[in-house]
Chains A and B, each alone.
Chain A
Amino acid sequence: MDVPITLRVDGSEHRLTIDTRTTLLDALREHLGITSPKKGCDHGQCGTCTILLDGRRVLGCLALAVAHQGAEIVTAAGLAEGDELHPLQKAFIEYDGFQCGYCTPGQIVSAVGMLQEAAAGWPSAASADLDADDVVLDEDEIRERMSGNLCRCGAYAGIVAAIAAVAR
């Protein structure tokens, strides 16, 4: 069954007609040609498709597009302001937080969401005090909070350094 939906992606509104079986990820990639979020496993196990959905980091492959009528989506492509890269994007380049680049947009979007979660005081499994008002993003916290995004090239040291530099 095909249904019409509207999505706002990286600040632009898109109307499209989609199969109800279509994931948000495939709606972006195959219907709108927005290929910044990548497909790595299509099973919610790798994090390459991480997007901000109404402000929170989610996996596009585990969301059905039809369930997100009118949603506001941000991808890594939408983080930059024209030629001016987002501070995290610059830091990933400076600290070489990637090799093949396939997990990278998901890592960066995930880091944006993670920094917001930490700023809001959300604890993680690495937090010593679950009730603390302020989260100190040390390396253990960053590693734990970024462990939903796999990197097979093994660029984790650079990813942690890049995020730590921006979090400071």
Chain B
Amino acid sequence: MSAGARAIGAPIDRLDGALKVRGAATYAYEWRLDHPAYLYPLQAEIAAGRITRIETGAATAVPGVLAVLTHENAPGRPPPPLRMAANRKDPEVAVLQSDEIAFRGQFVGGVIAETFEIARHAAGLVRLEYEAREPDVELRADRDDLRKPRNAAFFGAGGGELQDGSPADTAVGDVDAALAAAAVTLDATYATPTYHHNPMEPHTAVALWTDDGLTLYCSSQGVHEARNLLASAFELDPARIRLISPHVGGGFGSKVYPSTYLALAALAAQLVPGRPVKLALTRQQMFSLVGYRPASIQRIRLGAEIGGRLTAIAHDVVQQTAKLKGYAEQVAACTRTMYAAPNRRTTHRVAALDLPVPTIMRAPGEATGMFALESAMDEMAIACGLDPIEFRIRNEPEVDPESGQPFSSRHLVACLREGARRFGWAPRDPMPRARRERGWRVGTGVAAAIYPSRRLPGNAATIRLGTDGRYTVMIGAADIGTGAWTVLTQIAADALRVAVDDVELRIGDTALPLASSAGFSTGTNCWGTAIFAAADKLRATLQSEYGGTVPAEGLEVSSDIPDNPDMARYAMYSFGAQFAEVRVHEDTGELRVSRLLGVFDAGRIINPKTARSQLLGGMIWGLSMALHEHSVIDARFGHVVNHDLAEYLIPTNADVRSIEVRWLDEDDRHVNPMGSKGLGELGIVGTAAAIANAVHHATGIRVRDLPITLDKLL
């Protein structure tokens, strides 16, 4: 590509592709360090209570065992450098600091040995005795101890009641009066189960202490955020902790906050000074140690006039959280912005249980909330005698109903219309069970998608221009499969007005400038804007101070992310329309999603190739949510029963049939200088509802509790 050509918008191949197709990209566990030791974790065998006795003799006696780590000998009290904070800021991350057990599977120690096989064998020889309490792990809407969430934003770091910083409850107008007066009403309850992220790469780390401090080679969606969590939990100077994570084998939210495995590896490495300690969670361990999407029970009430104008929307959410640490996601937040009903109310309540700590998972809140809202919208369209697309169009707001602000861009109606055209929606007979093909009932469904374009604090970029004319762009960002390696290079090339080949990107290291985590679909927005600002500054500095000639020592500039005053003036969201066709076998209830189409409004697309993949992936997550995923929690013992990939089902290649992604040609410069909006999470939003709506169309059966398994269709 010649200099000056536009890299943004070009479908260029992933720059990390040649490494990844050979298996040569270095993931955390693959760093080659001399003389490593292996750590195998010990996990609590009760869900609530305390440890009364630990017998490590048999394990210690195994040749090759170097140490057995438990709360009794864990560094952290008091010898530095891993010293416990006087005020524990994060009770989850500060592992092994007491005898208390908060959930089944919690870390209670680990065995460090010369080899993985020895460590694993010896871990089985450690005996623990407990004083157990009866665990309380069942989420029900009729519990008498439901409470309003508090201080849940970004795990307490951001204030606010919900994880996104928004209030738990909102109310506009008089919902009860409007519902009482409405010509058409709906009152329905929807439920979503617990889900686990299950990135293909397990959570792994190699921890090494030297005189300079702690180095962790790890698998992280945000090295700076993880470093700060560890530093805070153990009262360590952040400057003495370095996290390195250039390649991440998927995260989906599970590699942002859950940092207990990093803490365990760091503690273990203290016991074997000078030796790197390797820790890889097993697939089974990942079901209790790295977060999950909490189950939800959602009651939705809608009221409408004859003709289909909504007069009232109420969305009341009950979700689970952990006793150990609070978490509450913004399940009903989308309902505040989607439709123009004059009377609206949303509430969120949590049940604190003896379960592991939930965390963000792809579109946390929006994914589950929009399943309920968009299912309810389908039910209400039918009740009003309207086509579900037409019903949504009639309730399209002019401005953000909650804030009264204009949208920076909102093309939901255009997505619905373009999708209807491509999908062949027009001839649809709205009657359920109308279409049969060779023993299969066929149905189609539609749902809307929304995802906020947020900006996270704490981003800066540095660009160095060498005398060879090459640019090194540095920011502690992460590529978890999003395409950040490629997309950020494209952004830098255009911002610097040079060719992609002239730019070398460095990410995934706390030694690089501060970056927010890969989450909330903010990566391109935050990191890209920081890079844009640094590029502007570099070009200006080169002209004003050096007359355009690179000085002999090269030139390096840094820039924080500039303020965006439009964020206070506009409501910023991506939108989309999801279409699904399903086939349900008349005799067996077997359910196949034969077609999926998503049409999206995500602003300017930086790289059509990687963007398409992200949206496809999100839609497959929605399909998975609709049909496959369900973490079954044993009410007696508090563990996930189906804790492996044979029992916790995710889609295989054969589960995904025709799937198509389109987007509108848009450009939203209110959001950022690239004109892009977030799309990493948009694809999952609404997909499960579109499929559930299609299942209703095919069968006449309305499934309000996910997943839609065949027993619910017989």
Contact = CB atoms under 8 A, between A and B. Distances in A.
Interface of A: 19, 21-22, 26, 29-30, 33, 35-43, 45-46, 48, 75-77, 79-80, 85, 89-90, 92-94, 96, 98-105, 108, 126, 140, 142-144, 146-160
Given A150-B200, A152-B250, A101 B645 contact: no
Interface stretch (B10-18, B154-162, B570-578): B10-18
Interface centre among B23, B118, B617, B650 (most CB of A within 10 A): B23
Given A38-B201, A93-B18, A99-B617, A150 B480 contact: no
Contacts of A158: 613, 616
B1 interface: no
A72 to B, nearest CB: 18
A153 B481 contact: yes
A43 B22 contact: no
A38 B610 contact: no
A48 B612 contact: no
A104 B24 CA distance: 11
Interface in B182-218: 198-202
B430 interface: no
30 contacts: A19-B117, A26-B116, A26-B117, A36-B22, A38-B200, A40-B202, A42-B282, A42-B283, A45-B644, A45-B645, A45-B646, A46-B645, A77-B23, A77-B24, A89-B21, A92-B17, A94-B13, A98-B481, A100-B248, A102-B201, A140-B654, A144-B653, A147-B653, A150-B200, A151-B200, A153-B613, A154-B617, A155-B613, A158-B616, A159-B653
Contacts of B614: 99
A75 B23 contact: yes
Contact of A77 (B22, B481, B653): B22
Given A76-B22, A93-B17, A152 B616 contact: no
Interface stretch (B25-33, B438-446, B451-459, B493-501): B25-33
A38 B98 CA distance: 35
Interface in B12-67: 13-14, 16-27, 29-30, 32
Interface of B: 13-14, 16-27, 29-30, 32, 115-118, 121, 198-202, 247-250, 252, 280, 282-283, 480-483, 609-610, 612-614, 616-621, 644-646, 650-656, 659
A39 B198 contact: no
Contacts of B21: 76, 85, 89-90, 92-93, 98, 101, 104-105, 108
B200 A40 contact: yes
| Secondary structure type dominating chain A contacts | loop
Interface centre among A21, A41, A103, A126 (most CB of B within 10 A): A41
Given A99-B613, A147-B653, 20 more contacts: A19-B118, A22-B117, A30-B115, A36-B22, A39-B29, A41-B645, A85-B18, A89-B18, A92-B17, A96-B612, A98-B481, A100-B201, A100-B249, A102-B200, A105-B22, A143-B656, A150-B645, A153-B617, A154-B651, A159-B653
Contact of B653 (A19, A22, A146): A146
A120 B685 CA distance: 43
Nearest to B20: A101
Contact of A103 (B14, B200, B248): B200
A33 B32 CA distance: 8
A17 to B, nearest CB: 11
A131 B309 CA distance: 60
Contacts of B16: 101
B249 A96 contact: no
A5 to B, nearest CB: 15
A150 B652 contact: yes
B481 A147 contact: no
Contacts of A41: 283, 644-645
B23 A35 contact: yes
Contacts of A37: 23
B483 A99 contact: yes
A152 B199 CA distance: 6
Nearest to B38: A30
A22 B29 CA distance: 17
A45 B200 CA distance: 11
A153 B645 contact: no
A9 to B, nearest CB: 12
Given A36-B22, A46-B645, A93 B13 contact: yes
Given A38-B200, A42-B282, A143-B656, A76 B23 contact: yes
Contacts of A19: 115, 117-118
Contact of B283 (A43, A85, A101): A43
Contact of B249 (A30, A38, A143, A148): A38
A89 to B, nearest CB: 4
A7 B199 CA distance: 31
Nearest to B645: A45
B686 to A, nearest CB: 16
Contacts of B280: 39
Contacts of A105: 20-23
Contacts of A79: 22
Contacts of A40: 200-202, 283, 645
Contacts of A143: 653-654, 656
Contact of A154 (B19, B25, B620, B644): B620
A160 B654 CA distance: 10
The 6 closest A-B pairs by CB, nearest first: A36-B23, A102-B249, A100-B481, A101-B20, A99-B481, A154-B620
Given A99-B614, A146-B653, A104 B23 contact: yes
B250 A100 contact: yes
B555 to A, nearest CB: 33
B30 to A, nearest CB: 4
A126 B652 CA distance: 14
A147 B652 contact: yes
Given A37-B23, A100-B250, A102-B250, A152 B200 contact: yes
A57 to B, nearest CB: 15
Nearest to A76: B23
A35 B24 CA distance: 7
A25 to B, nearest CB: 11
A63 to B, nearest CB: 15
Contact of B24 (A36, A92, A150, A160): A36
A142 B646 CA distance: 21
A85 to B, nearest CB: 6
A80 B655 CA distance: 30
A125 to B, nearest CB: 9
B529 to A, nearest CB: 23
A85 B22 CA distance: 8
A29 B31 CA distance: 11
A108 B17 CA distance: 13
A165 to B, nearest CB: 14
B24 A96 contact: no
Nearest to B660: A157
Contacts of A98: 14, 17, 20-21, 481
Contact of B25 (A26, A94, A101): A101
Contact of B654 (A29, A85, A99, A144): A144
B32 A153 contact: no
A101 B247 contact: yes
B282 A48 contact: no
B102 to A, nearest CB: 26
Nearest to A124: B654
Nearest to A93: B17
A96 B202 CA distance: 23
A153 B22 CA distance: 18
A9 B201 CA distance: 23
B32 A100 contact: no
Contacts of A96: 13-14, 609-610, 612-613
